[in-house]
Amino acid sequence: MNNIKNKKILLVICGGISAYKSLEIIRLLKKEGASIKTILTNSAKKFVTPLSVASLSQEKIYDDLFSHENESEMDHISLSRWSDLILVAPTTANTISKLSSGTSDDLASTVILASDKEIFLVPAMNVRMWEHPSTKENINKLINFGYHIIGPIVGDMACGEYGKGKMTEPSEIVDTLEQYFSKLKKNKRLKALVTAGPTHEYIDPVRYISNKSSGKQGYEIAKSLKKNGFDTTLITGPTNLEPITGIDLINVNTAEEMFNAVLECLPVDVAIFSAAVSDFKIKNKVKNKIKKKESINLNLEKNIDILSHISNHNSLRPKMVIGFAAETNNLNEHAKKKLHEKNCDWIIANDVSDPNIGFGSDYNEISIFYKNMKYEKLPRMKKSILADNIIKKVVSHLN
């Protein structure tokens, strides 16, 4: 099935001997029914001509960040927003270095850095350049930023050397994009729900019981679901995080509000409960602010267990229910117990006693416990990359 048809692809061509292959990429994508707009870097024009690119793409070429004509017709922001994805082929060592450091000194780098779309890089360079530690470090940074890397492959190079650094063949690049759009199309039929952040259980109008959850992991999971095509709703307690474009956001304060919001969003195919919901609430909340001289006796009662209620509900239960367990000791024991008692498909457990990971940090280290009681540990990594790993496993499980 052709999943590239009617897709809008922004192709960035950088300067390298492999640039001639970009013409074949355009031809293949046009054959599949895609619309192509192209940005040529100044060095790319030394290898392919604007006329040849325009003839194949049947679109004008963009090459100047400060072009009055281009900026009045389609500026660097709208050019990025027009596309369904950005393909940079070939991607030179220089471009990789610029993107990893956040440099935006031409139209290509500015569009890429301003983009809110998925970006596929196709590296092509001499084997020594590819193997240089700085290139490896830059590639790892870009992977952590969420860029997709296609290749390079091993082969003979124009310089006469042999090794890894050769640009992936155009047909394989187009196949990769086909698979990407196919995955999105399949996942668009699926609805996902994520809870994130803490809850606030009020003692009086200005004081509350809460926890250190920042909501970062839940937000990254929601982003990854959205990237993978899921129709995603994020229910979040109070955080300092920015809303995510393309995701339905529901803001709540208390555990009761979060529970009611979850019920209103059902049914869904996947529910991931990453919120750190307060276990207890104040039985008799005071209407007015308690004065400093007054004595306070907190009478607590248990909050509803959202995860357990949804996971054990026959008619409302999603196909896949994933819970989180933030622990400070006996992580494996507590996670397995929670997996069994809550009737989850997976429990994702992390040790929040380490201040460098978990609550408030951009990094996390988790263990995933599966219903068959097997588990796997994922090493410390950025929460964004961890989220992509989790959702990749979710997609694999659903398929």
Residues known to be catalytic: 159
Phi, psi of 258 (to 5 degrees): -65, -40
**Positive or negative CA dihedral for 250, 318, 382, 367?**
positive
Q: Are strands 248-251 and 270-273 parallel, antiparallel or unpaired?
A: unpaired
Rounded distance between C-alpha atoms, residue 283 and residue 298, angstroms: 8
In this structure, what are the phi and psi dihedrals at residue 386, rounded to the nearest 5 degrees?
-60, -40
State the first-to-last Cα distance of the chain, in angstroms, to the nearest integer: 17
The 10 Å CB-count burial string (b at 16+, else e) for 261-295 is bbeebeebbbbbbbbbbbeebbeeeeeeeeeeeee
- CA 39 vs. chain centroid, Å, equals 25
- Strand 248-251 to 61-62 pairing: unpaired
E-only strand ranges, the chain? 8-13, 35-40, 61-62, 85-91, 118-123, 148-149, 153-156, 162-166, 191-196, 201-202, 208-209, 231-236, 248-251, 270-273, 280-282, 300-302, 320-327, 346-351, 363-370, 375-382
